[in-house]
Amino acid sequence: MSDLFNDNDTENLDKNNSTPLENEAGEPSNGVGEKSEDNIHSEDTFNNGGQAPIDGDYVNNNKTTIEASNDYEAQANQINSNAPPTPNNYTNSGYAPTQQNTNEPQNNIPPQNTYNNQSAQNPYMGYNNQANQQPYGTPYYYKGRLYYMQTPYSTPPKKKMATSVKVFLICLISLFAVCFIGLIAFCGYSVMNISNNNYKIIPDFPKSSSSSNSSEKDTQPNLADPNGPSISYNETPNTGDANAQTAFEKLSPSVVTVSEYSSDSSSKSIDDSSNDGLSGQGTGIIISNDGYIVTNSHVIGDTKQNKIVVTLKNGEEYDAVIIGYDTRTDLAVLRIDKTGLQSAEFADSTKISVGQDVIALGNPGGINYSNSLTKGIISALDRTVSSSSVLYIQTDAAINPGNSGGPLANLYGQVIGITTIKVVDTEYEGMGFAIPSATIKEIADDIIKQGYVSNRVRVGVTGRAISESTAEAYSVQPGIYIATFSDDSPLKAQDVQEGDIITYIDDVKVTSFSIFYSELAKHQPGDKVTLKIYRPSEDENKDGETFDITITLLEDNGETQADS
């Protein structure tokens, strides 16, 4: 078992930024405990919830249309004077009207798409010239479209591309790829690749050394205010003009740009116009006229140590303080020293319905495209994504890099969610996800008043999820592999060791963080739960040991959010 996990790949189960070793489909990543471009691990927390931060690549599957050249067509017509000429009314539009032509070849075969590489006849590929058939290169019609058979004449050899041109194209493609990846890293939104139905969450912000490797706690003082504001709901009108234009005019003054500067550039002043140290940009929503703003936790880098600058719609910039963040729900609350702001109006997300028109506002590509609007519908409700315990709103409104933390709103300009995740895959389009306003209110109100989310539990261990497939590959049982314990972990007193695996919680089989989190979410601090522990045998020829323990869940008083 010593090779099962590397020390650098363990997740903190008392830290909220969770990314499981395997995807929800249970497929192993690039080897257990290894990181790859499609499976980027971050530390996680064993508490009653989980983080969903959303990556993959856009791929265009362009179809190629093959047409015979005019020269080949002329050559073919010289062979057979009976060949029908190209219609005079044909234009290069991809469409030609159906013609009745007695000279059409018999048994013309329309182009057919193949499925799973099955054989299919295709006029582009040609066939043997049988009796009474027109010669190759002659156009024919099928259902109003003009097709060309492949010419039998030898195709002229392709001109070799000059080496200098090849080098230029390679450099151009490489530059484009680097720019695209840089855009994703710079502009905040979480991307999810679901190729082959595998859910993979890829953080859009690379963790700086201060936030990924340090075990020090955030040192900012508690800025919570027990008398601080709360998010309130407004009734959605049943009448009146509801459209995207009026909704935008109402909501856009409450949408801001959130810029994150890594901790090593904390001395940067907002008067400095350079982008030195700028790690990313996302979106935020003003929730009170005295400067409180809600955004995604990943937009601020999941830490209190980074410098945050907020830019209002009118271009004014303000340093922001981080009141608190919760990576389990991917929400954070900021505050700027400004009064008289126009706060957004919220509506109750429990009253929305599938098919309802919605708009999304944000900063796709960063501040240069701030307050961009896209429109769509609510595609589904109560969606789960990967290891998160949040039930998301699914929408087909376009969500782009930089939209994270921005509002998803109805056509009355009332916020019903915060955009946070997008599915990126060649076979999927229009799948974005937003945190419902009901969750936003619950989490943000707690953070404002006490700096952390109340009634959370923890078990005091760090580790990684082992899926069914990974467990089979390593001849162990699926569950949560325990890497380390906190000083107050109740498991330490139960003879549990590092390297043991939690396989059940209260008779519920554990194969992912989402299952474990959903069970923890049913409990309060002080509740007792039963865990089944599997201890792998050091002898490969012998089965491991299984035993049960009962522990008392610890209260999370912000400890998991204090770790950077």
CB 358 within 8 A of CB 394: no
Question: With the C-alpha atoms ordered 511, 514, 519, 520, is the resulting torsion angle positive or negative?
Answer: positive
How many whole angstroms separate alpha carbon 446 and alpha carbon 451? 7
CB 453 within 8 A of CB 446: yes
DSSP 545: E
Residue 85: count of CB within 10 angstroms of its CB: 10
| Nearest CA among 141, 263, 167 for reference residue 207 | 263
CB 488 within 8 A of CB 457: no
How many whole angstroms separate alpha carbon 292 and alpha carbon 414? 17
How many whole angstroms separate alpha carbon 299 and alpha carbon 125? 52
Active site residue 404: yes
Contacting residues for 533 by C-beta, under 8 A, at least 6 apart: 496, 500, 501, 502, 503, 546, 547, 548, 549
How many whole angstroms separate alpha carbon 471 and alpha carbon 466? 6
Q: Which value, to the nearest 10 degrees, does the dihedral of the CA atoms of residues 415, 348, 392, 323 take?
A: 60
Q: Which of 370, 388, 404, 486 is catalytic?
A: 404
Contacts of range 128-134, beta carbons closer than 8 Å, 24 or more positions apart: 132/105, 132/106, 133/105, 133/106, 134/80, 134/82, 134/83, 134/84, 134/103, 134/104, 134/105
Provide the H-helix boundaries in 70-110: 70-79
Question: With the C-alpha atoms ordered 477, 479, 481, 484, is the resulting torsion angle positive or negative?
Answer: negative
Contacting residues for 430 by C-beta, under 8 A, at least 6 apart: 376, 379, 396, 398
| Nearest CA among 199, 284, 189, 237 for reference residue 413 | 237
Bridge partners of 362, per DSSP, are 372
How distant is the alpha carbon of residue 137 from its chain centre? 48
**The total number of residues written for the chain in this structure:** 564
Q: Which of 55, 298, 343, 556 is catalytic?
A: 298
Active site residue 563: no
Which pair of structure tokens corresponds to residue 547?
Answer: 């035993």
Question: How far are the Cα atoms of 90, 120, 139, 152 from residue 145, in angstroms, in the given order?
Answer: 10, 19, 10, 22
Q: Which of 44, 55, 330, 446 is catalytic?
A: 330
How many whole angstroms separate alpha carbon 421 and alpha carbon 203? 10
Residue 116: count of CB within 10 angstroms of its CB: 4
**What is the DSSP pairing of strand 479-485 with strand 461-466?**
antiparallel
**What positions carry a catalytic annotation?**
298, 330, 404
